[in-house]
Amino acid sequence: MKLCYLLTCLAVSAAAQKATVNGYVKDAATGENLIGATVLHRSSLSGTTANVHGFYSLTLKRDSCTLIYSYVGYQPVQLTFVLRRDTSININLTSAGQLEEVVVEATREEIQELTKMGSITITSDQIKALPAILGEVDVLKVIQLMPGVKSSEGSTGLYVRGGGPDQNLMLLDGVPVYNASHLFGFFSVFNADAINRVELIKGGFPARYGGRLSSVIDINMKDGNMKEFHGEGSIGLIAAKATVEGPIVKDKTSILLSARRTYLDVLTRPLMAVAIPEDVAVGYYFYDLNAKINHIVNQRNRIYLSSYLGNDRAYTKYREKFNQPDGTPRESAADSGLDWGNFITALRWNSILGPRLFSNVTATYSKYRFDIFSEYEEQDVGGGDRDYFEARYMSGIRDWAVKADLEFIPRPDHYIRFGAQTIWHQFSPGVAFSSSAIDGDTTMGARNVYATEYSVYVEDDFRLGRLIKVNAGAHASAFAVEGRWYSSLQPRLSARLLAARDFSLKASYATMTQYIHLLTNAGLGLPTDLWVPSTSRVNPQRANQVSIGAAKTYKSIYEFSIEGYYKKMSNLIEYRDGASFVSVTDNWQDNVTTGGFGEAYGTEVLIQKKSGKVTGWVGYTLSWTNRKFEELNFGKWYPYKYDRRHDISVALSHAWNDRMDFSLAWVYGTGNAVTLPIASFTGIDEPSPGQVQLWPHMRYYGERNDFRMRAYHRLDLSVGFTKKKKWGEREWVFGVYNAYSRMNPFYMDIVRKDGRQYFAQYALFPIIPSVAWNFKF
Amino acid sequence: MKGSPVVFLLLALASCEFVSEVDVPEIPPRLVVNSFFYTDSAWTVYLSQHRHILQENFPSAPQNAIVTITAQSGASFTLEGGAVDEGVQLFQHPSAPVLSESYTIRVSAPGFDDAEATATTPGSVDLISVWLDSANIVPHNYNGPGSIPVEFTFQDPPGRGDYYIPRFFVWGTRAVRRDNGQVEFEDGWEPGWLSKSPDNGGFAEFDSEHPGLTDEGLDGDIRTVRLHAHKSWWSSNEPKDLEWKFTLTHVKEEYYRYVHSVRLQRNNEGNPLAQPVQIFSNVKGGLGIFAGSATSSFEHRN
């Protein structure tokens, strides 16, 4: 008892000798939070970084102190003052681009100092520096250039460290996005103009993240300019976009609005009219709208309201007028197509609860739905004798969630995070509806499934001595569905040993549990992918991942990292033999095989050049990933479709001067594993006892995914010409996708032509030149 | 219903296709051995060889093949080769398999690896009762073909790995196309089709691709199963003078897995979006199936 009392007195006494400086670090011109900005105490060399909300907290001795605030590309600010009590200081840093002549050598937390493993942060500027595809830069395409991340042609589906496309948690301002594809997967839903920062985590997951096995892609939208109105936009070959941001009340409330729409449908309409004389329209378009309001309530409280609305539509329309045999004029209209989209919104409340305690409370709503429709209507001209038929197939998922995240920073080298979340899911795994003049209305298919997901976490980032830094935590989650209760405790641990000033060794372990699954077609990026919950027949997926690695910085310009990982997965699901997404009207659980195992292992190397005229990176991955299901491949292990032995990516950009820049991206990957029929043979069946029937054309496939498509490689180039104008800045960007027109394989099939059969490998995109006009004011 | 938009989408994607040819590796020549055997019928084996997937014509049947069958009891005999049709040669022997006996087939032919398979003739299943629930007949209407509930009770032998294929026949006049192409009418057993009933006794899967009921959850139990027998023109006044036959074929796992995979592959023929179906085989060194069955039947004649 006495010992407790003594320890308490000591702690209080120690605390009494210290005080805390906290606040936000922001861009002086825009008021935008500078995520990851460094705050360094000059004499002790202890420091901290601003969190994703721009907030920092540093507890120091009550004494005279000098703090250095810095951020890459910004002029550092040095502040000397006497720290007598807890103090709030908001700092505005000025961008180097706005200064006449500066040498910006900002300190930042370098890669060898970070505890995190398998984590890569990409800024909006880095995204925009890389080649645009059809005039559009795309966040997910940039992520696909990172080691450990694989993709396929014409798809935004990501396969991270041997995982499936459903095992990635894509968060836009903290809200999950369930389908990130536009244009059948060629573009993602994330408009680069509205994005501030992207973080990709492939392993060593901090405890605050959960719900997916393989990766977290955390995307932060811009908050909106607090100082003055600005805008930017572009007009490209297939799409135009515009973003406007500015203060509603200066330094108090800002708004950001961003919109993008394709106009393939508008451009091709005259061509269609010539090519098809009948009254037929075939088209496709997509649009995105992003909006965000950021309001500073007072020094301690901020509120954000952000929303995203996106929709894709592919359609055919056919109109006809004709006469019936008795001469009555009639008219008909037939419409069919696909419609899919996301709507997400988040209301966030940031609050400084104390000098060392920061909270972020979020309420979110996320909805994804797709709708396949076919409608036909026929009636006498002028009305009367109406006949109609309508058929629809709808599927989707809706989430309502509340989340509280708290950050407690007792010391500069000690960061504690904890929080809780509840998500209410509504799954609609497929409902078919038909209506006709004869049969009336009929609805069939899977009914809605309701589930609730709970999670709590605690995460502690601390030092053990001078050299070792540890991030330890646990994520506990539970899932209630149809009377079943699943729960899971997921320990997480990352540690780094600073072996030299610029070199560290790292290791991490993470257990992840995933309660929802995606039934996906062959990676086409079609919207028919079906989100389904764990049920009494389908257990939650689990993964354990260990990784070790090393990180080094050379002259603060080059970063080098190497990581090896091993991931074991269980309770995976997969379509059964013969199943396809076309048969989704059946109970989805009948189409899948469950209880699958997976393993993935490999090594990733990443060399980055972060500053200078030439910036970029080179990544290499050597990896294996396999699957095993009792019902598939006769129960034997087989390579996963995206098992890719070698994967190389090179992304470089070169800024010659203020007026001209050049960028390239080159990727190489071992061909995808596919299952091909290699022989045919005569089989038998017995429709009645003793009555044998021969089937002479049965296909023999050999082992599952035993054949490799050709290697995938592609070079994208772009060059930009920028010119300052009175009203702002304009840029012409000329780009080439697939510069040497490599016929990269998309799928394979047997073709019969000119009297012979052969295997054909289909490619989607040859060389595609593009031009875009960008503006900024 | 969903077909047209999906096809439209695929056409949209296919509109920018570029095709190149690829080579598919050859596999060594393999014998294809197919034989279903029953206790009330002579041994029959269909022998052929596989062909490369791009080869359109049927290769000749394996030359000078020797097909022998050896019983577990030690008896062994060689089957006699017969007619060849579309690359398939028929091998027969007048003897008939014995219930619950295990047999090994060995096939050798010059230029091929030897093929071998072992299977057991299942014991006949004890079909305890069968009855038609005439009171609950559903006549043919706009919503689909007519159906009548059929309920049967049988005894599952101890142990796992037993499968049961129920079939239902109605005596009637049917059209038969003769070898000369002429269509004639004759009386005979005409197959109806069976489907799952919601109260079918707990069997999860039974449809056109799943040929039978598994013994999952059974182990030597007596089980009653309720299914629906369908015929497209069934009307409500038929059952009172209906002449029908119900058969229950007892097979082992290799038979079930093979027939299931064959039907699954056939049902998905031409669907490029369907997952590929690997055909099961229990023939080591070759392809095909060697499996036995035993059928019990129940007939109701006026």
The DSSP 8-state label assigned to residue B256 in this structure reads: H
Q: Which helix (H) or strand (E) holds A126?
A: helix A124-129
Q: What sign does the dihedral A352-A354-A358-A362 (CA atoms) show?
A: negative
Q: Give pLDDT, residue A664.
A: 93
Give the number of C-alpha atoms closer than 13 A to the C-alpha of residue B246, restricted to the C-beta side. 24
Chain A residues closer than 8 Å to B142 by CB: 439
Residue A710 forms beta bridges with which residues? none
Nearest to A242, CA basis, from A251, A229, A252, A253: A229
Q: Which helix (H) or strand (E) holds A370?
A: strand A357-380
- Please answer yes or no on whether B1 and A393 come within 8 Å at the CB atom: yes
- Please answer yes or no on whether A336 and B53 come within 8 Å at the CB atom: no
- Please answer yes or no on whether A683 and B51 come within 8 Å at the CB atom: no
The closest CB to that of B279, out of A524, A700, A750, belongs to A700
**Interface predicted TM-score of the whole assembly (ipTM), two decimals:** 0.88
| CA separation for the pair A388, A455 (Å, rounded) | 49
Q: What sign does the dihedral B253-B255-B258-B263 (CA atoms) show?
A: negative
H-type helices in A470-584, by residue range? none
| CA separation for the pair A166, B128 (Å, rounded) | 50
Give the mutation candidate from B53, B193, B271, B298 for the A interface (greatest A CB count, under 10 A).
B53
| CA separation for the pair A356, A414 (Å, rounded) | 11
Chain A residues closer than 8 Å to B119 by CB: none
> With contact defined as beta carbons under 8 Å apart, do A740 and A205 qualify?
no
For A398, the token pair is 């809706």
| CA separation for the pair B248, A582 (Å, rounded) | 33
> With contact defined as beta carbons under 8 Å apart, do A241 and A201 qualify?
no
Give the mutation candidate from B4, B7, B10, B13 for the A interface (greatest A CB count, under 10 A).
B13
Q: What are the mean pLDDT values of chain B's consecutive 10-residue runs (302 residues total)? A: 44 51 80 92 94 87 95 93 91 92 96 95 89 80 75 85 88 76 83 72 61 75 84 62 87 93 89 86 96 90 76
CA distance A390 to chain B (A): 9
Backbone dihedral angles phi then psi of residue B219, each to the nearest 5 degrees: -155, 85
- Please answer yes or no on whether A743 and B4 come within 8 Å at the CB atom: no
- Tell me: the pLDDT tens digits for A226-237? 889 999 999 988
For A423, the token pair is 């998500």
Q: Give pLDDT, residue A109.
A: 64
Residue A516 forms beta bridges with which residues? A533
> With contact defined as beta carbons under 8 Å apart, do B89 and B48 qualify?
yes
Q: In three state form, how does the secondary structure of A619-674 look?
A: EEEEEEEEEECCCCHHHCCEECCCCCCEEEEEEEEEECCCCEEEEEEEEEECCCEE
- Please answer yes or no on whether B295 and A689 come within 8 Å at the CB atom: yes
CA distance B41 to chain A (A): 8
Give the mutation candidate from A524, A577, A695, A748 for the B interface (greatest B CB count, under 10 A).
A577
For A500, the token pair is 């030299």
The residue of chain B nearest to residue A702, with distances taken between CA atoms, is B278
| CA separation for the pair B117, A571 (Å, rounded) | 34
Contacts of A755 (CB under 8 A, 6+ apart): none
Measured CA distances, A586 to A330, B193, B267 (Å)? 37, 20, 16
> With contact defined as beta carbons under 8 Å apart, do A346 and A174 qualify?
yes
The closest CB to that of A684, out of B36, B167, B272, belongs to B36
- Please answer yes or no on whether B279 and A316 come within 8 Å at the CB atom: no
**What Rg value do the Cα atoms of chain A yield, rounded?**
28
Q: Count CB neighbours of A145 within 10 A.
A: 21
- Please answer yes or no on whether A678 and B25 come within 8 Å at the CB atom: yes
Give the mutation candidate from B26, B30, B54, B174 for the A interface (greatest A CB count, under 10 A).
B54
CA distance B239 to chain A (A): 23
> With contact defined as beta carbons under 8 Å apart, do A165 and A767 qualify?
no
Cα A222 to chain centroid distance, Å, stands at 16
Backbone dihedral angles phi then psi of residue A239, each to the nearest 5 degrees: -145, 155
> With contact defined as beta carbons under 8 Å apart, do A678 and A750 qualify?
no
- Please answer yes or no on whether B271 and A580 come within 8 Å at the CB atom: yes
- Please answer yes or no on whether B51 and A680 come within 8 Å at the CB atom: yes
Q: Which helix (H) or strand (E) holds B13?
A: helix B3-14
Chain B residues closer than 8 Å to A585 by CB: 2
Three-class SS state of B68 = strand
- Please answer yes or no on whether A759 and B32 come within 8 Å at the CB atom: no
The closest CB to that of B21, out of A585, A759, A764, belongs to A759
Q: Count CB neighbours of B83 within 10 A.
A: 8
Nearest to B35, CA basis, from B296, B286, B277, B297: B286
Contacts of B288 (CB under 8 A, 6+ apart): A681, A683, A684, B31, B32, B33, B34, B35, B115, B117, B281
The residue of chain B nearest to residue A442, with distances taken between CA atoms, is B143
- Please answer yes or no on whether B295 and A675 come within 8 Å at the CB atom: no
Backbone dihedral angles phi then psi of residue A284, each to the nearest 5 degrees: -150, 140
Backbone dihedral angles phi then psi of residue A386, each to the nearest 5 degrees: -85, 135
The closest CB to that of B41, out of A690, A746, A766, belongs to A690
The residue of chain B nearest to residue A741, with distances taken between CA atoms, is B18
For A622, the token pair is 């050597």
| CA separation for the pair A607, A619 (Å, rounded) | 6
Give the number of C-alpha atoms closer than 13 A to the C-alpha of residue A711, restricted to the C-beta side. 10
- Please answer yes or no on whether B22 and A526 come within 8 Å at the CB atom: no
Q: Give pLDDT, residue B125.
A: 86
Q: Give pLDDT, residue A306.
A: 93
| CA separation for the pair B37, B96 (Å, rounded) | 8
Nearest to A256, CA basis, from A311, A300, A196, A298: A196
**Which residues in chain A land under pLDDT 50?**
1, 3-4, 6-14, 99-107, 522-525
Chain A residues closer than 8 Å to B30 by CB: 679, 681
The closest CB to that of B21, out of A154, A694, A760, belongs to A760
CA distance B137 to chain A (A): 23
Q: Which helix (H) or strand (E) holds A330?
A: strand A329-354
Which amino acid appears at position A499 of this protein? A
pTM of the model as a whole: 0.84
Cα B260 to chain centroid distance, Å, stands at 7
Torsion of CA B110, B114, B118, B121, to 10 degrees: -10
CA distance A634 to chain B (A): 8
Q: Give pLDDT, residue A105.
A: 44
> With contact defined as beta carbons under 8 Å apart, do A195 and A219 qualify?
yes
How many CB pairs lie under 8 A apart between chains A and B? 221
| CA separation for the pair A553, A546 (Å, rounded) | 23
Give the number of C-alpha atoms closer than 13 A to the C-alpha of residue A504, restricted to the C-beta side. 26
Nearest to A315, CA basis, from A344, A290, A340, A283: A283
For B293, the token pair is 């069955």
- Please answer yes or no on whether A760 and B20 come within 8 Å at the CB atom: yes
